[in-house]
Amino acid sequence: MNRRDAIKITGLSALGILFSPRISARNLIPQVLRKADFGKDFLWGVATAAYQIEGAWNEDGKGVSIWDTFTHKKGKIKTKENGDTACDFYHRYPEDIASVKEMGFDVNRFSLSWSRIMPNGTGEINQKGVDFYHKVIDECIAKGLQPWITLYHWDLPQALEDKGGWTNREVIAWFSEYVEFCTRTFGDKVKNWMVLNEPAAFTALGYMLGMHAPGKRGFSHFGAAVHHAAMCQSEGGRIIRKNVKNANIGSTFSCSYVQPYKNTETHIKAADRMDAILNRLFLEPALGLGYPFDTVPLLNKMKKYIQDGDMEKLAFDFDFIGLQNYTRNITRFSPFIPGAWAIEVPAKKRKVPYTDMGWEVYPDGIYQLLKKFASYKGVKKIIVTENGAAFPDAVEASAVNDEKRIAFYKSYLEKILQAKQEGVPVHGYFVWTLMDNFEWAEGFRPRFGLVYVDFQTQKRIIKNSGLWFKSFLTEK
């Protein structure tokens, strides 16, 4: 038996390990999942974020970002780590891009560090930072990979945060200047663009709960940040359309399939509010539907940040919607969460399979979300721009046998294929993530990568999940 066959068998056997608490004939994955079933034009890619992999936090003229500041503060990161070096992608990008190609993917999705390009957020350009991204783009193209750029993946320049960051309406002008420069600089070589990465996540975690950079708390910060980010989302799209010929423009949304803990009125309404905050808050304004004020009355407090003409400017005709899903959210009513009056019931408490992040493994959730997104009139095309799982990994005999991750990907891909076969316009799937990296407030412990990284030596090992994708994507 060769290694490729062994990986296939290992992945199938892992189904019993991963899904044993709720295994059923209806949910069993077919023994043969073929790339051809998704169609010849279906895109296969990996996704990364600048702060999580680049390192070189203060090299070659880069400015300080809010994540540099946040991780350097005592008590902010569970493991007391930071992304100063991360995966050292800044120096090792040819090796890592080569791994993307070796595993058979078409697309390398990565983000630009705003503070590497504009150290102070506006004005002065750092040419060495610009040169770095030209080299990354050129390396992708040389390897036959499509470079897909995310303009903002959470690392706001600290100089702008010092002026209020996303809570300051001037961020619309700051962001517009940044997008203008990036699209004029890289637009001849890059045609696929994403404006924001998961705005619901970075506004809630960073400006209401204080769990992520910049660590602010309270609805007054959150409401302002939400509206200004939503304005930047659409304005960024308009700037790309203006500057990049034949551009393919999207934005990405973090989504969780929300269900009530019990089918009672209080729990159902709590789930509706949770769904509005997690899944509708940024998508519906972009589609011209406005904010979900009726479902979550607390959001009406945002109206003081909305100026004349803003509601019309929130809408933009995106070419695609980036759907990012990792788990399901079971919601119950809670009297202790003002405004939302809702709280998630953890997977561990419900005794269902979950990942190293505590997130439930629930493949049907991505199917339900694809169907839901496709039901919106303004959604023309969907790409799953992130999906993946963190599990404990160990190197044994120079290999990483991550059978649970293989089973995870197979189960989710089956559900994506089901949605596609039922007419959902899903046109691509990007794995989160290429390699183990700095997982924000969780530090280096959670490992999501197809490539194992020893953070002490920076040695890379393609995991069996990466070899599974290589087999899946390259077999004729």
Question: Would you list the DSSP string of 105-131?
Answer: -SEEEEE--HHHHSTTSSS---HHHHH
Question: What's the pLDDT score for residue 107?
Answer: 98
Residues ≥6 apart with Cβ < 8 Å to 173:
none
For strand 451-454 and strand 107-111, is the pairing parallel, antiparallel, or unpaired?
A: unpaired
Rounded distance, CA 272 to CA 263, Å?
A: 12
Is 60's pLDDT higher than 90?
yes
Inform me whether the pLDDT recorded for 61 exceeds 50.
yes
CA nearest neighbour of 414 among 454, 472, 375, 456: 472
Lowest mean pLDDT among 24-33, 52-61, 228-237, 387-396: 24-33
Identify the pLDDT of residue 475.
85
Is residue 10 scored above 90 in pLDDT? no
The pTM score is 0.94
Taking a C-beta distance cutoff of 8 angstroms, is the pair 207, 288 a contact? no
CB within 8 Å of 243: residues ≥ 6 apart: 180, 183, 184, 187
DSSP 339-395: TT-EEE--HHHHT--B-TTS-B--THHHHHHHHHHHTSTT---EEEEE---------
Contact 43, 186 (CB under 8 A): no
**C-alpha span between 31 and 9 (Å, rounded):** 9
Q: What is d(CA 226, CA 232) in angstroms, rounded to the nearest whole number?
A: 10
386 is catalytic: yes
CA gyration radius for the chain? 21
61's tokens:
């003229």
* 107 within 8 A of 44, measured Cβ to Cβ: yes
Nearest to 46 by CA among 95, 133, 137, 109: 109
How do the domains of the chain map onto residue ranges? 3-474
Of these residues, 235, 284, 386, 439, which one is catalytic? 386
8 A C-beta contact, residue 410 and residue 30: no
Q: Which two tokens stand for residue 456?
A: 């002490």
Q: Can you give the pLDDT at residue 31?
A: 56
Tell me the CA distances in angstroms from 139 to 40, 93, 99, 133, 203, one per residue in order: 24, 8, 12, 10, 33
- 307 pLDDT band, cuts 50/70/90, is very high
Residue 222 clears pLDDT 70, i.e. is over it: yes
Q: Which of 84, 108, 15, 169 is nearest to 433 (CA)?
A: 108
**32 pLDDT tier (thresholds 50, 70, 90):** confident
Task: List residues bridging with 196 in a β-sheet.
Answer: 152
Distance of alpha carbon 321 from alpha carbon 182, whole angstroms? 21
pLDDT in tens, 163-205: 999 999 999 999 999 999 999 999 999 999 999 999 999 999 9
Mean pLDDT confidence for 68-92: 98
Q: Is pLDDT of 17 > 50?
A: no
344 catalytic? Reply is no
Tell me: pLDDT of 229 over 80. yes
Q: Given 54, 161, 198, 439, which residue is catalytic?
A: 198
Structure tokens at 449: 């990568």
Q: Which amino acid is at 16?
A: G
Distance, in Å, from the CA atom of 58 to the CA atom of 226, rounded to the nearest integer, reads 29
pLDDT band at 3 (very low <50, low <70, confident <90, very high): very low
In degrees rounded to 5, what are phi and psi of residue 296? Answer: -125, 90
Of 292, 318, 165, nearest to 238 by C-alpha is 318
pLDDT at 14: 38
- Chain mean pLDDT for the chain: 94
Mean pLDDT to the nearest integer, 342-351 = 98
| 13, pLDDT greater than 80 | no
- CA dist 293 to 168, 227, 276, 304, Å? 22, 13, 9, 13
Is 21 a residue whose pLDDT tops 90? no
Return the CATH fold of 3-474: TIM Barrel (3.20.20)
What's the whole-number mean pLDDT along residues 60-79? 98
d(CA 88, CA 325): 27
Give the tens place of pLDDT for each residue, 423-450: 999 999 999 999 999 999 999 999 999 9
Spatial CA neighbour of 10 closest among 383, 364, 406, 306: 406
CB 96 within 8 A of CB 52: no
| 180: its two tokens | 């203008």
Q: Please tell me the distance from the alpha carbon of residue 330 to that of residue 274, in angstroms, as a whole number.
A: 10
Q: How far apart are CA 79 and CA 125, in angstroms?
A: 34
Cα distances (angstroms) measured from residue 422 to each of 228, 374, 416: 36, 11, 10
Distance of alpha carbon 365 from alpha carbon 374, whole angstroms = 14
Q: What are phi and psi of 263, to 5 degrees?
A: -85, 60
- 202-203-208 Cα angle (round to 5): 120
For residue range 364-407, what is the model confidence (pLDDT) as tens digits? 999 999 999 999 999 999 999 999 999 999 999 999 999 999 99
pLDDT tens digit sequence for 251-266: 999 999 999 999 999 9
Q: Is the pLDDT reported for residue 2 higher than 50?
A: no
Contact 102, 470 (CB under 8 A): yes
At 247, the amino acid letter reads A
